Amino acid sequence: MRFQNHGLIFFHFSLAFVFTKQTVSNDDDKLGTIVAANVVFRHGHRTPTKCYPKDPYNNLSYWPEGWGELTNIGKMQEYELGRWLRQRFNHLLSEIYTRDEIHIVSTDVDRTLMSAEASLAGLYLPKDSQRWSSDIKWQPIPVHTVPEHLDSILAMGAPCPKYNLESKRVMELPQIVDLMASFNDLLEYLTEHTGEKVTDLVKVQNIWSTLHIETLHSYKLPEWTDTIYPNPIKTAAAHIYSLQTYSPEQKRLKSGPLLKDMLQHFKLKLGDSSYVPDNLEEAELIKKQKVWLYSGHDETLGSLLNSLNLYNLINPPFASAVLIELREKDGNNFITVTYHNSTTEPPYLLTIPGCSELCPYKTFIELTHPIIPYDWFAECHPSHRIYDLTTELPYNSLAVFVMVTSTLLVFLLLASMSIFWQKQKPTRFYRKLKPDSI
């Protein structure tokens, strides 16, 4: 079976991704001083979320943690990430945890919640009054989350019909049709050997991820994988994040809320008048804070990088992180984007198109403005204008019309019945009889 070079095909219609392999440290004079930072990181090593039907390891006896759960390797990866963050932000954060300095958010998934806790264990070793046990060198630190179906910022799971329509349009573009056609041999091959119908890159991504995890566990892969693993399935799987944020509108609706949330932190820190917060009490707390951590998934990182035109078609590995940092140099403010994909390698400094490595704050804001939604919900649901305040989900316009119309009809029916019975009501309840004569 001969498979095509998908990377070259994609190059012909993709944006120019800039990935500068330049190491960077927080004390580099050329880059100035970090004064605030947003860190988005992927969870650590996990078990497969599911195996394909013909997988020889499609049994929980091989995965005692359960499907899609963090492993001990993953816990250590996140702990080491926390230790690395401590070194990087030691000048920003005190050794004693305080909510005034840091805020942690996670998607509502076991492996990301546990990854957040493991990284915090490395970031904040309990000291002094925060030592609550002589045996346990750990302290509980709050991790904030919301249900995935309501999370438009980090899990990107909140419903967005406009995004779905735009994604469908993108998949019908000639260049995307050609790209998908180049994967036909691979899809047919996977369908033949996995026992399931493989028709899209989402399933390719799931299969590649499963094979990758099995190799990390030193499980021998079936012989049929020799011609497709690690490539071309690895390269094909990596395309999923570029396709999910291919158009400007996809970028705006998928990764825009996360980028908006991060930049609002910087705007509050700098007193930028372009952002007026709704919650003044919360805004005052954010002004004090210096680091914001987001525990997410490979989709979170891949979509964010591609939205900034920085994705290099390589799946973000376990415990990798994207750092968007506010820096100060010579009295001016700048923003840098850094990619950390291993605790053993220095991070890479990235350069977004249209700016320099040390991007002036105002320039960065201007360059990212087109993919920042003003009102994400209104853009996602342009035909809905009535909201259910208890669930923050829209009522269907037709349902509202039927409800209002039905109420009016019932009211009119009751009024008509009342008038009818009023007319039928006798004028007298009895007739007075004349007394008999004596």
| 298 carries an active-site annotation | yes
294: CB partners within 8 A, 6+ apart: 38, 39, 40, 41, 105, 106, 154, 258, 300
CB of 236 closer than 8 Å to CB of 187:
no
Q: Which residues contact 219 (CB under 8 A, 6 or more apart)?
A: 57, 62
Do residues 107 and 154 make contact, with C-beta atoms less than 8 angstroms apart?
yes
Q: Is 43 a catalytic residue?
A: yes
The SS3 assignment for 165 reads: helix
DSSP labels, 314-380: -PPPTT-EEEEEEEEETTEEEEEEEEE--SSSPPEEE--TTS-SSEEHHHHHHHHGGGS-SSHHHHH
The single residue of 239, 265, 298, 340 carrying the catalytic annotation is 298
Cα–Cα nearest to 59, from 47, 51, 68: 51
Query: What tokens were used for 319?
Result: 């415990």
Spot the catalytic one: 43, 103, 212, 340: 43
Cα 358 to Cα 322: distance, rounded to the nearest angstrom: 16
State the residue for tokens 């930072």.
Answer: 37
Contact between 400 and 287 (Cβ < 8 Å): no
Q: CA-CA distance, 301 to 15, in Å (whole number)?
A: 18
Q: Minimal CA–CA distance to 151: which of 295, 240, 257?
A: 257
Q: How far apart are CA 194 and CA 198, in angstroms?
A: 9
- How far apart CA 331 and CA 425 sit, in angstroms, is 88
Q: Which residues are catalytic?
A: 43, 298
